[in-house]
Structure 1
Amino acid sequence: MKLSPSLRRAQSNYESGAGFLAVASIGIPITETITAQKRDLDLWAAAERDPQDYDAVVESTRGHYARLVGVTPDRVATGAQTSVIASLVAAGVPVGAEVLCVDGDFSSIMFPFLQRAGISVRTAPLDGFAAAITDDTWLVVFSLIQSSSGVVADVPAILAAAEKHNAYTFCDVTQAAGVHPVDASLFDVTACHTYKWLGCPRGVAFMTLSTRFDPLLTPLNAGWYAGDDVWQSCYGPTMDLAPNARRFDVSPAWPAWVGAEPAIRMFADLDITEVWKYTTGLGDMLCDELGIPRQHQAIVTWADPDRTDLGKLIDAGIRASGRAGRLRASFHIFNTEEDVAAVVAALGR
């Protein structure tokens, strides 16, 4: 596969990635992220850091993420964890309303709704999920790419069914952003924790909101960083929150955002369709070598209930993961055909 110059530059921005097939669990940083965080640490140690130094970093990162997922920055709120974002959404569900989730979806976007009293939570398999949406469904909750299996949701079918039944949509793009094209404008709300495919330090997350869903939520986490002017919002009781999605911001863990800014900028500059073609190409190559059906996914899984295959990979120095009784090997832009060959050799196939 002939790669664009921009993708090749991005690949060269990693110090190492050979044998790392666990990005679906945790990503690895680019060299610019490492350099930026080391510099930030040095400045902090030298007493040369001020909290206001980080404002531009946060806003720049917000802008890069907005470009990556196809929305404007005013539709993007900053966060720290997916479950906190989901909890905010769960709090906005009207009493008596139904929320439809995917069987086996990641707990961080499901548990907050199960904890919410006064609403109904129903689940359905991803296969045929769109058909499970009814007139009683107020909110549809699903991951764009399933964490356990790497399967990509049938977004057009889900959106069509949601529109037909007048349901809102909440999509978790944590396992998609940075490897699969994401258009957050298609959904009423999205969540993304960026420490996987975007290779950011843990603690940098985003929520996007449609203009029709935004008024339905209350900024329960509002603090000084949700203010229209954050440095004039440090003390109450006067509260002048931002007029857009930024009123849902939580105060940033500064060092993490320093590392996130160059990483998200790099991916926002890439053609993510090319990234998906490259990573799924490696995935299909592995399927061919293992004699299993092609999955056309960046995350390749196969049955490994006793973790025998996972143990062989670990013994060979290959990092992968096991989820729901299956081995999960995930390919990103730093992986190559040599990684496929190494897996095949380790498994003795």
Structure 2
Amino acid sequence: MQTTTLLPEELHAAFSGARGYLAACSTGLPTHATRAAVVADLDARPDLVHYAAVTERCRSHFARLVNTAPERIAIGSQTSVMVGMIAASLPDGATVLCPEGEFSSLVLPFAHAGRDIRVRAVPLADLARAITADVDLVAFSIVQSATGEVADATAIVDAARRNNARTLCDATQAAGWLPVDAEMFDALVCHTYKWLCAPRGVAFLVVGDDFAATLTPLHAGWYAGEDPWAACYGVDASLARSARRFDVSPAWQAMVGAEPALAMFAGADASALHTRVTGLASAFRERLGLPEPLRATPIVTWPDPAGADLARLTAAGVTASGRRGNARLAFHVFNDESDVELAVAALLG
């Protein structure tokens, strides 16, 4: 087990070629170690036993990252598939509450689940107050994709508990820069290709035992067996007693690339990393005269309905994104003050 605590400057050194890349909220950049692991795997003969061991190490790294036990974690490839399993397990006529403008992968599985499941949306700032006794599940991203707004997770969870509602948190835009405690929620989903800088195709579901008992393992395959190697054929295999019964078969090569990245972020000084990336974003906002958000976030958005600012950034060699009529920048550990200066110069001249 890794015992050293990695500081932001050590994480920064794990990357190269990042100048002007301000789009971790779209997809992260691979570390040197991830590149080396993928290349080495391509040069080697496939070894399924090795891949399985890598997968279990990835599960353990993510458990450490979000403060939970590996036995509570199921592996997947996309968050929407895991959310779909939860949606299929809700009772007929259930009510799901979510923020307005929430990322589609978290809400469409409920909206199209049928069985008279109702989805109600309110502004994120009103989410806790909108939780009433008729709500069965509150589904929300702890950091909003379109705006970077950070939810008041404590208030939302407290309100849900008072009203006997379950909570489902998406940490895809949070894990990797914001300290996350998965034990707060009934369930947490996270894809790792953004702030955790892993290859696309590695996602996780953390689920508490009580909530897990209500879920149906719709996607169970051989890897969901108590003994996967004995569960390859037929209908007699016993599913795992842990959250592994919700596993899908791992994307082997993606896991190989994910392992060094997950290990690195799991070993990082979470508080120092949070301070570093939100500080870069704050410096950018100050230069542009943009207001500071209620809760610190490394994602910066501002109105850009015609895309003129995004075009200026692109022309200056800055990789950014546009969402819902806004320009969007994201400062991560592979960025530094020179990226702030590059983006400011592109916009102010």
TM-score under structure 2 length normalisation: 0.96
Structure 2 contact 230–237 (Cα < 8 Å) conserved: no
Give the unaligned 5+ runs of structure 2: none
Q: Is the 8 A contact 2:95 2:134 kept in 1?
A: yes
- What is aligned with 2:306? 306
Deviation at 1:16, TM superposition (A): 2.1
The gaps in structure 1 that reach 5 residues or longer are: none
- Partners of 2:271 and 2:139 in 1: how far apart? 24
Alignment-mate amino acid for residue 85 of structure 1? M
- Taking the aligned partners of 1:12 and 1:336, their CA distance within structure 2 comes to 11
Deviation, structure 1 residue 5 = 5.8
**Counterpart in the other structure of 1:176:** 174
Equivalent residue, structure 2, for 1:326: 326
Deviates more, 1:309-318 or 1:287-296: 287-296
The equivalent of 1:63 in structure 2 is: 60
Runs of 4 or more consecutive aligned structure 1 residues displaced over 4 Å after TM superposition: none
Q: Which amino acid aligns with 2:336?
A: T
* Offset at residue 117 of structure 1 (A): 1.1
Pair 116,5 (structure 1): closer, same or farther in 2 beyond 3 Å: closer
The one-letter amino acid of 2:28's match is: G
The DSSP-based 3-state class of the residue aligned with 1:83 is: helix
2: CA distance, partners of 1:69 / 1:292:
31
Name the amino acid aligned to 1:203: G
Tell me the residue number matched to 1:335.
Answer: 335
Contact kept, 8 Å, 2:198 with 2:257, in 1: the verdict is: yes
Question: Shift in Å at residue 120 of structure 1?
Answer: 1.4
2:124 matched to which residue of 1?
126
Q: Secondary structure at the match of 1:67?
A: helix
Within a 5 Å distance, the mapping from 1:97-246 to structure 2 comes to: 97-118=94-115, 119-246=117-244
The letter for the 2-side match of 1:299 is I
- Tell me the TM-score normalised to structure 1 length: 0.96
User: Offset of 1:18 from its aligned partner?
Assistant: 1.0
- After superposition, the Cα gap between the structure-2 partners of 1:5 and 1:247, relative to the gap in structure 1 and judged at 3 Å, is closer
CA RMSD between the two structures: 1.0
Q: Distance in 1 between matches of 2:189 and 2:243?
A: 13
Aligned to 1:253: 251
Distance 2:316 2:8 in 1: 28
Identity %: 50
Contact 2:102/2:145, CA 8 A, preserved across alignment: yes
Q: What's the CA shift string for 1:258-296, capped at 9, x where partnerless?
A: 000000000000122211111110111001000111233
Name the CA distance, whole Å, in 1 between partners of 2:285 and 2:348. 14
Q: Distance in 2 between matches of 1:273 and 1:172?
A: 20
Q: Which residue of 1 aligns with 2:25?
A: 24
1:260-271 alignment to 2 at 5 Å?
Answer: 260-271=258-269
Equivalences, count: 342
- Specify the SS of the correspondent of 1:212: helix
Tell me which residue corresponds to 2:12: 11
Shift of 1:9: 1.6
Looking at structure 2, the residues matched to 321 and 120 of structure 1 have their Cα atoms a distance apart, in angstroms, of 32
Tell me if structure 1 keeps the 8 A contact 2:28–2:196.
yes
In 1, the alpha carbon distance for the partners of 2:112 and 2:6 equals 48
SS state at 1:137 partner: coil
Q: 93, 98, 118: which is aligned to 1:96?
A: 93
- Paired residue type of 2:184: L
Give the Å deviation of 1:50: 2.3
Counterpart amino acid of residue 41 in structure 2: D
Equivalent in the alignment of 1:35: 36
Inter-partner Cα distance in structure 2 for 1:53 and 1:265: 17
Aligned partners of 2:28 and 2:198 also within 8 Å: yes
* Shift in Å, 1:56: 0.6
Aligned mates of 1:314, 1:242 — CA distance in 2: 49
1:76 lines up with 2:77 in the alignment: no
In structure 2, give the amino acid aligned to 1:32. A
